[in-house]
């Protein structure tokens, strides 16, 4: 996805989002395998060399627009100081995105020193494919997300 010319966003626009890439195993563009590592790489454009502390957040929703998950570098206490470059990349790695198979979107939010710079809800679309999440040979499409689990019996 290339959003560098995208103008329908909320915020001051001092920074902009450029290319957005989703990588999950060897899946096709825009596809995620739900039990495999997934990374999202976001190009940040900084034509005016704005400085400050950058917060990047993603908000995931399903096709019914139900809010599922918020990710942000602030939650992990990862401080990003904006580099003195015209463009740079922010990457978030997930060990898995445990959503049931289907279509999803995520929003992107950029803030500098807690000021909204760039935001658009549900801008990136992707599809989740299942690859035997529970390693049982069964496919499971019910619910909103999958949870790793371990079962035992005690006597």
Q: Would you state the pLDDT for residue 140? A: 67
Distance from chain centroid for Cα 9: 17
Q: Would you state the pLDDT for residue 28? A: 72
Q: Would you state the pLDDT for residue 70? A: 94
Mean pLDDT by 10 residues, the chain (155 residues): 92 96 82 88 95 95 94 88 95 90 95 95 91 74 77 80
Q: Would you state the pLDDT for residue 17? A: 97
Sequence-separated contacts (24+) of 61-65 with Cβ below 8 Å: 61/104, 61/105, 61/106, 61/107, 61/122, 62/99, 62/102, 62/103, 62/104, 62/144, 63/102, 63/103, 63/104, 63/105, 65/122
Residue of 10, 73, 12 whose CA lies nearest to 42: 73
Q: Specify which residues 104 forms β-bridges with.
A: 62, 126
Enter the tokens of residue 32: 């995620």
Residue of 31, 9, 35, 34 whose CA lies nearest to 21: 31
Residue of 41, 39, 72, 79 whose CA lies nearest to 56: 72
Enter the tokens of residue 72: 């942000």
């Amino acid at each position: 996805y290339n959003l560098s010319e995208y103008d329908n966003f909320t915020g001051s626009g001092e920074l902009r989002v450029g290319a957005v890439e989703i990588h999950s195993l060897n899946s096709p563009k825009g596809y995620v395998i739900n039990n495999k590592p997934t990374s999202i790489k976001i190009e940040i454009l900084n034509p005016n060399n704005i400085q400050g502390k950058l917060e990047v957040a993603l908000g995931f929703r399903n096709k019914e627009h139900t809010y599922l998950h918020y990710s942000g570098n602030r939650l992990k206490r990862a401080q990003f100081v904006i580099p003195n470059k015209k463009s740079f990349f922010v990457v978030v790695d997930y060990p898995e995105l445990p959503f049931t198979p289907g279509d999803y979107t995520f929003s992107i939010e950029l803030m500098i020193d807690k000021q909204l710079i760039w935001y658009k809800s549900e801008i990136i679309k992707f599809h989740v494919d299942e690859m035997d999440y529970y390693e049982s040979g069964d496919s499971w499409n019910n619910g909103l997300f999958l949870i790793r689990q371990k079962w035992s019996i005690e006597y």
